[in-house]
């Protein structure tokens, strides 16, 4: 399949998915201009913007793809520097990135919920109870709002989390040694508790196939290996930047190393840290650079 067809299909799918927003906003704006009403005009502009802005981001992403690919190709010679934080050995908690995605989706779904909620109100008022199906979008929005609140409470309580590697990168067949740094966690909060550290190797495959004549991108993930360890916080040390908890985990020799981020058949490693605590449980996740020495 030609690359141009794939890009056009991606843009078309996003445009269709967002059509309730940008089309509804455009229609509302036109009607407001005809009736010379300010409030509907403002609503129309907001809805159109909520539908057009994500489409604009997709266009920018497609336009910048060649530069991103060239950037990664230049970095292949030094695998441990594929990501800036890998070269420093101080890894950042990936749940923060997930929080950014949740925030964006919450804003996006809030815009869609206005349209679908209004349509559900109109259809139910006319006696068509099937219109209640349209409330599924506000229900999804409620789930994202709950996830956003939980994430915000966790970050407020524990602050920033980092993983400082003793050696960068980690190596297959050797011991991964690092320190988990939690900004606001204190030793007294861990009395009688344990940290659980889980290291896993994950294979993610992505491919494109045609479905009813249209190109569709599909992917799946498989855990190749996983190992975990419960650690008592007896060796935890409180420093200026937070609580330091040492961790050491063996990485088997027979496992695959991290491969190129451009590959459609990608292998990556991650470390998850968790602890059951009163109120809000602790959780963080880090992507590990694991290579063959």
279 Rama sector, left if φ>0, alpha if ψ -120 to 50, beta otherwise: left
* Residues whose CB is less than 8 angstroms from the CB of residue 164 and which lie 6 or more positions away in sequence, other chains included: 89, 90, 91, 178, 179, 181, 244
Strand partners, 90: 164
Q: What percentage of the chain carries pLDDT values higher than 70?
A: 85
**Which pLDDT band, with edges at 50, 70 and 90, does 1 fall under?**
very low
Helix (H) or strand (E) holding 193: none
64-123 residue pLDDT tens:
777 766 766 665 556 666 677 777 788 999 887 666 676 777 777 777 777 777 777 777
Alpha carbon dihedral 64, 104, 51, 139, in 10-degree steps, equals 140
Residue whose entry in the numeric block shows the structure tokens 């550290």: 197
CA distance 114 to 193: 45
**Which pLDDT band, with edges at 50, 70 and 90, does 134 fall under?**
low
224-237 residue pLDDT tens:
999 999 998 888 89
Residue length, the chain?
293
Position 107 scores a pLDDT of 76
Report whether 163 contacts 286 (CB < 8 A). Answer: yes
Give the predicted TM-score (pTM) of the model. 0.66
**Which pLDDT band, with edges at 50, 70 and 90, does 195 fall under?**
very high
Which segments of the chain are extended strands (E)? 90-92, 161-165, 170-171, 175-182, 195-211, 214-231, 237-239, 242-250, 265-275, 282-288, 290-291
Find, among 214, 263, 218, 220, the residue nearest to 6 by Cα.
Answer: 214
Position 130 scores a pLDDT of 63
Report whether 131 contacts 123 (CB < 8 A). Answer: yes
27-44 residue pLDDT tens:
878 888 888 877 778 777
For residue 174, which phi and psi values (nearest 5 degrees)? -130, 180
Residues 46-58 as b/e (b if ≥16 CB within 10 A, e otherwise) read bbbebbbbbbeeb
In this structure, how many other beta carbons lie within 10 angstroms of the beta carbon of residue 85?
16
In this structure, how many other beta carbons lie within 10 angstroms of the beta carbon of residue 281?
12
Residue whose entry in the numeric block shows the structure tokens 């939690």: 182
CA distance 243 to 18: 45
Which segments of 73-194 are extended strands (E)? 90-92, 161-165, 170-171, 175-182
261-279 residue pLDDT tens:
556 788 899 999 999 998 8
């Amino acid at each position: 399949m030609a690359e141009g067809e794939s890009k056009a299909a991606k843009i078309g799918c996003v445009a269709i998915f967002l059509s309730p927003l940008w089309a509804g906003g455009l229609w509302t704006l036109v009607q407001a201009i005809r009736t010379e009403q300010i409030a509907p005009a403002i609503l129309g502009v907001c809805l159109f913007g909520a539908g057009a802005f994500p489409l604009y981001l997709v266009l920018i992403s497609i336009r910048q793809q060649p530069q991103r690919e060239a950037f990664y190709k230049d970095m292949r010679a030094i695998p441990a520097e594929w990501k800036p934080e890998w070269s420093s050995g101080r890894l950042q908690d990936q749940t923060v990135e997930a929080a950014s995605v949740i925030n964006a989706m919450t804003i996006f779904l809030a815009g869609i919920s206005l349209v679908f909620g209004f349509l559900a109100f109109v259809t139910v008022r006319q006696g068509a109870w099937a219109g209640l199906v349209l409330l599924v979008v506000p229900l999804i929005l409620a789930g994202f709002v709950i996830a956003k609140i939980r994430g915000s409470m966790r970050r407020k309580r524990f602050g920033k989390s980092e993983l400082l590697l003793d050696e960068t990168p980690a190596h297959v067949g050797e011991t991964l040694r690092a320190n988990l740094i939690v900004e606001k966690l204190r030793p007294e909060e861990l009395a009688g508790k344990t940290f659980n550290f889980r290291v896993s190797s994950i294979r993610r495959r992505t491919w494109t196939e045609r479905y009813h004549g249209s190109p569709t991108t599909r992917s799946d993930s498989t855990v190749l290996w996983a190992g975990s360890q419960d650690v008592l916080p007896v060796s935890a040390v409180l420093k200026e930047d937070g609580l330091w908890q040492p961790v050491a985990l063996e990485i088997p020799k027979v496992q695959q190393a991290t491969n190129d981020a451009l590959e459609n058949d990608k292998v990556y490693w991650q470390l998850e840290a968790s602890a059951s605590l009163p109120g809000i449980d602790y959780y963080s996740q880090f992507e590990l650079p694991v290579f063959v020495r």
